[in-house]
Amino acid sequence: MADLEVPKELREEAKGHDMYLHPIDKNTYELFFGPQHMATENFSVILKMDGNRIEKAIVNPGFLHRGFEKLAEGRPYFTNIALLLRICVPESDVPENIYSMAVDEIVGWEVPDRAQWIRTTVLEMARMSAWMFWILGFGNEIGLYTAGQWAAAYRERFMRLFEELTGGRVYHIYTVPGGVRRDIPGDKWLRQLRDTVEYLKGKLKDFDEILFDNYITIERTEGVGVMDKKFALRHAVTGPNLRAVGVPYDVRKDDPYYFYPELDFEVPVLKEGDSLARVLVRRYEMEQDLYILEQLLDMGPPSGPYMVQDPRLKALPRFKPPKGDAYAHVESTKGDFGAYVVSDGTHKPYRVHVRGPSQSHGVTVLEELLKGARLADVPVILKTLDNCPPDIDR
């Protein structure tokens, strides 16, 4: 696009515009969407616009590349937790857990029940706070700022709970290979968690009123960014986006880990595959996550150690797992989040490869869905796909 010859008078005309546009033809121009736009978070889409319609979209990631996978190759096993969790900001427990699960599998550790219970709870809490973060973003994109402000306030409750459990608010650095780093602070914390769950159950009705039942939400999202089942599977779309096209694939059900086989929850599936279906699937999953947390609290944490007993853990910086490799994945709010870890028997991993869900639905799928959409639909499509650029860049 860049090497197209632009007539001189069009170039002069472009200077008169408010935004700096690259006119290609009389009605066609190139628009750089992002990385400052809030919907794109930290990546940009180059749009070739025909009036208000998008002719072609090119995803331009890379603003967040920090080379975590390469950096992880130079650091001891446990240390990498403090590094890899930065891949997913809203739910930083997911990268911790996939990496820990993969290392557990390489070493052959049987994680104690208590640690598994805590990990399940932490993952569900992370999911819940990530949903709140998503409401904040989505509400802002379609102009319903009130819902976003509420969601930010409710997310604060989970952050407080995380602070007491793990000692950190956003980056918890809590799940490590072999278990978790701290025990539950006490029954008071469990009571607080139950209170929060009860509180949020009531608040979901408020979100229904103001956001999900809202005339504006439905009008803005219905029929926007439609994909079908075959397209979604061939593009490896996962998570709520896949469930919105009618495939009941959920890692918690299909490849169960931790306490999920013992929990009873439903998988919401819709057929339309448009933005509204994706929104509604997410809405229903929030309810299910609260229900899961309630079940976990009813079950209560099993007694026992919260970390495996292994003499090798005494010299943590020089901890050496055996040779091997493992793939582990969990269900995050964005989709199937996986990590592939290769160990060559030294105290540093030979290769860590993280598979973020946005790698599949953030590049090729986005480019396809944006074709023919209007400019105002771009934030809606981006937010209903729940695109997370750090997954792509890492």
Partner 1 sequence: MDMNEKPKVEEKVENTEETKPELPETKEGRLVKEILGEAPYAEGNVRRERRVEFKVPPERIREFLETAQKKFEMLIQITVVDWLKEGEFEVIYQLWSVSESVHAAVRTRIPREDPRLPTVMDIWPVAETYEREGHEFFGVMYEGNPRLGPFILEPREYEKHPFRKDFNMLGYVKGIYGEDFDRYDESKTNYVI
Partner 2 sequence: MESVKKPRVRIVGEEKVRLKKSFVKPWLGIKYLFKKPVTIKIPFERIEPAPKYRGFHTLDWKKCIGCNFCGQICPARAIEMTWIEVDGKIEKRPHPKVDYGRCTFCQFCVDVCPTGALGHVENCYLTTSGLEEDLELYDWVPIDPKKVQELNEKFGDYRFPVERITFNKETKETTYYLRDGTEFRFKIIGYGLKPPAAARPKPAAKPAQKSAESSKKDESSKTEEKKG
Residues of the shown chain interacting with partner 1 in the complex, contacts defined by CB under 8 A = 61-62, 65, 67, 69-71, 74-75, 233-236, 238, 247, 249, 254-255, 327, 329, 336, 338, 340, 342, 350-351, 353, 355, 359-360, 363-365, 392-393
Q: What are phi and psi of 328, to 5 degrees?
A: -135, 145
CB of 35 closer than 8 Å to CB of 42: yes
Told to check if 80 binds partner 2 by CB under 8 A, we report: yes
**Among residues 7, 62, 67, 167, the one that binds partner 2 under rule CB under 8 A:** 167
Residue (63 or 171) nearer to partner 2, CB? 171
Long-range contacts of 26-33 (CB under 8 A, 24+ apart): 27/51, 28/55, 30/1, 31/375, 33/378
**Among residues 43, 158, 257, 337, the one that binds partner 2 under rule CB under 8 A:** 257
Q: Which residue, 238, 9, 293, is CA-closest to 124?
A: 293
- CB 104, min distance to partner 2, A: 12
- CB 334, min distance to partner 1, A: 14
Q: In what order do the strands lie in the sheet with 22-23?
A: 22-23, 28-33, 44-50, 53-60
Q: Which residue, 221, 48, 196, 226, is CA-closest to 128?
A: 196
CB of 75 closer than 8 Å to CB of 56: no
Report the site for partner 2 in 311-340 (rule: CB under 8 A). 314-318
Residue (214 or 364) nearer to partner 2, CB? 214
CB of 385 closer than 8 Å to CB of 355: no
Report the site for partner 2 in 168-187 (rule: CB under 8 A). 168, 171, 173, 181-182, 185
3-class state of residue 269 by DSSP: coil
Residues that bind partner 2 (CB under 8 A): 75-76, 78-83, 116, 144, 146, 150, 153, 156, 160, 163-164, 167-168, 171, 173, 181-182, 185, 206, 208-216, 218, 248, 250, 253-254, 256-262, 264-271, 280-281, 283-284, 314-318
